[in-house]
């Protein structure tokens, strides 16, 4: 075992003495040492219930014959960090989490890991680490939040708080109604109710084989979630003894399964950052081109908040991710192994079909193509992404006039001032991985646009990124970004922008000669951070088109 390096031999007497100081018994020295990596924090609804799950995982590890050791990583809630300087830290925290996990596992030579996670950047950060380390690991996501309830109506975070901001500003909701709604939209523990990034990543983690079947949609605080946590604790000891490591599960084929699941669900565009980053640490070749290729041949089978009023609890009660895999069966790589010990094909065979009113069969899809489209063109030579599954049919082709903003905040001010008009294309630049830095997530703006009734009348295009809760024609990850003098840096007010989702095009309708003239006088913006972590991050981070990993 890896842990023999810290507990075997006379020369390890000091190491053992320190381990005994933690309460380890002599009999436990011969057992696998299992890290329980927890992102518990009191700051995030998705994580407040993790203390109980930690306990269940520990029970499972002990029952399986291992010795559990809990350690922590930081967690950031994108919803709380939204709309201010804190959002600069969200995407970069993914790299910190990966580095922390690597550091703890290598320093203490742990034999295996149970990763207890839930929110947006934490799940991919943990997966990046175990793929980098190639150790036995299993992921437990803490589960989705139940829907809120108010006067007999179901509530969800994005539609009933972020979008309510626009409704109130448009005079369509009173201050008292808004105050009542914000107290009821998030009724307790769990990741936000829709198919935003946290829940999307949970679903993709289960699909790629790194969580036990049923984990992704089992509701936070439920007995089912508790049982799955305990089973994960038992199972990790089996994985250690069997020698099954992360890279045996996270392969090109399993990541393609995850991308297909993303397309079938209509998931968050942030996965186009996270899956390539996980692949990078697993030394597997996955790019934006794979998302586009698989999107064209994978139908969308569900319609979930923010695209509809269906929420994650509906997916859970309809059969969960095993039921979606059942519908996708003919398209999946069925020989892929999973942490359960069963192949994808065996899981599909074991579970029954889902409720077809929520999870459509392959021959009756919601849309012929997947929920995410990758666009290229003169405005995005290296690519851009859009959640096409949450766009009205009439907006699939759109030409409009550019209104240029150097950051999200000024665009929000422009919207609040009532200056946005039909056929505008709001160009928001200098929000990319380097220029942001940290690629701040825009949900406040897109939700306010939806709330004030402009969602099907304008477009938003940015080198930053969008929340998984975003709907309407919102195009992000434009690459190269403005900080690298990509074409988005050269757009001027009044330019025409052409968007064609069926043909995967995003074009700036300006001549090459004019763009060369503009480029000759372009000046790189001064860095927003000159000291600290974000200054280092902005110097080292790669393009969004390659997952925004650190070089």
Ramachandran quadrant class, 214 (left: phi over 0; alpha: psi -120 to 50; beta: rest): left
At which residue do the structure tokens 């269940």 appear?
56
- CA 329, 335, 337: angle at the middle one, nearest 5? 110
Q: For the sheet with 67-72, list strands across it.
A: 67-72, 33-38, 112-117, 137-141
Closest among 494, 498, 493 to 508, alpha carbons compared? 498
User: What's the sign of the alpha-carbon dihedral 467, 102, 128, 254?
Assistant: negative
Cα three-residue angle 399-431-197, rounded to 5 degrees: 85
**Cβ contacts of 167-174, under 8 Å, gap ≥ 24:** 167/451, 167/452, 168/451, 169/416, 169/448, 169/451, 169/452, 170/451, 170/452, 170/453, 172/451
Give the Cα separation of 387 and 390 in Å (integer): 6
d(CA 294, CA 258): 10
Question: Cis (ω within 30 of 0) for the bond into 203?
Answer: no
The answer to whether residue 467 is catalytic is yes
147 to 119, 157, 215, 254, 302: CA distances (angstroms):
17, 9, 18, 31, 18
Q: Are 412 and 543 in contact (CB under 8 A)?
A: no
Compute the half-sphere exposure of residue 2: CA atoms within 13 Å on the CB side of its CA: 20
Short-list 115, 112, 109, CA closest to 127: 115
Burial-class residue 296 by CB neighbours within 10 Å (0-12, 13-18, 19+).
middle
Q: Measured between alpha carbons, how far is 226 from 264 in angstroms, rounded to an integer?
A: 28
Q: Which residues lie closer than 8 Å to 27 by C-beta, 6 or more apart?
A: none
> Three-state SS string across 296-322, please?
HHCCECCCCCCCCCCCHHHHHHCCHHH
Q: By the 8 A CB rule, do 307 and 390 touch?
A: yes
No. of H helices and E strands in the chain?
22, 16
Q: Which of 343, 338, 332 is nearest to 297 (CA)?
A: 332
Q: Kindly name the residue from 3, 340, 467, 479 that is annotated as catalytic.
A: 467
Active-site residue list: 467
């Amino acid at each position: 075992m890896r842990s023999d390096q810290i507990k075997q031999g006379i020369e390890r007497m000091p190491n053992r003495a320190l381990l005994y100081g933690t309460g380890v018994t002599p009999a436990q020295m011969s057992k696998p040492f299992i890290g329980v990596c927890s992102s518990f924090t009191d700051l995030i609804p998705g994580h407040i219930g993790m203390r109980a799950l930690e306990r269940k995982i520990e029970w499972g590890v002990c029952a399986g014959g291992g010795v559990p050791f809990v350690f922590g990583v930081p967690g950031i809630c994108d919803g709380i960090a939204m709309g201010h300087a804190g959002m600069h830290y969200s995407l970069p925290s993914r790299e910190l989490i990966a580095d922390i996990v690597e550091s703890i596992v290598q320093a203490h030579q742990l034999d295996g890991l149970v990763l207890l996670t839930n929110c947006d950047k934490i799940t991919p950060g943990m997966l990046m680490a175990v793929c980098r380390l190639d150790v036995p690991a299993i992921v437990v996501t803490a589960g989705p939040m139940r829907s809120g309830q108010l006067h007999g109506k179901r509530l969800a975070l994005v539609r009933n708080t972020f979008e309510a901001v626009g409704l109130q500003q448009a005079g369509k909701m009173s201050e008292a109604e808004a105050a009542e709604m914000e107290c009821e939209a998030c009724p307790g523990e769990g990741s936000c109710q829709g198919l935003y990034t946290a829940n999307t990543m949970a679903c993709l983690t289960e699909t790629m084989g790194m969580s036990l079947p049923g984990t992704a949609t089992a509701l936070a605080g439920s007995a089912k979630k508790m049982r799955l946590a305990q089973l994960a604790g038992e199972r990790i000891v089996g994985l250690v003894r069997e020698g099954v490591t992360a890279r045996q599960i996270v392969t090109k084929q399993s990541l393609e399964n995850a991308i297909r699941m993303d397309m079938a669900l209509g998931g968050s565009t942030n996965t186009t950052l996270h899956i390539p980053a996980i692949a990078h640490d697993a030394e597997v070749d996955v790019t934006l081109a794979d998302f586009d290729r698989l999107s064209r041949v994978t139908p969308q089978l569900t319609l979930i908040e923010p695209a509809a009023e269906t929420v994650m609890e509906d997916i859970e009660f309809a059969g969960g991710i095993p039921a979606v895999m059942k519908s996708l069966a003919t398209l999946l790589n069925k020989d892929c192994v999973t942490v359960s010990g069963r192949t994808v094909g065996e899981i599909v065979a074991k579970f029954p079909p889902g409720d077809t009113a929520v999870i459509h069969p392959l021959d009756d899809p919601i849309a012929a193509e997947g929920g995410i489209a990758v666009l290229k063109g003169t405005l995005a030579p290296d690519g851009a992404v859009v959640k096409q599954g949450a766009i009205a049919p009439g907006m699939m082709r759109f030409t409009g006039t550019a209104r240029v903003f150097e950051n999200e905040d000024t665009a929000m001010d422009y919207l609040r001032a009532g200056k946005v008009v039909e056929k505008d294309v709001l160009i928001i630049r200098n929000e990319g991985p380097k220029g942001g830095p940290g690629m701040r997530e825009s949900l406040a703006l897109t939700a306010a646009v939806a709330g004030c009734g402009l969602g099907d009348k304008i477009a938003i295009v940015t080198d930053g990124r969008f929340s998984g809760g975003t709907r309407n024609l919102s195009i992000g990850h434009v690459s190269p970004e403005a900080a690298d003098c990509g074409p988005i840096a050269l757009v001027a007010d009044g330019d025409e922008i052409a968007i064609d989702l069926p043909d995967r095009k995003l074009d700036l309708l300006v001549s090459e000669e004019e763009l060369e003239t503009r480029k000759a006088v372009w000046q790189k913006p001064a860095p927003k951070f000159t000291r600290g972590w974000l200054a280092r991050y902005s110097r080292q981070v790669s393009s969004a088109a390659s997952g925004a990993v650190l070089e």
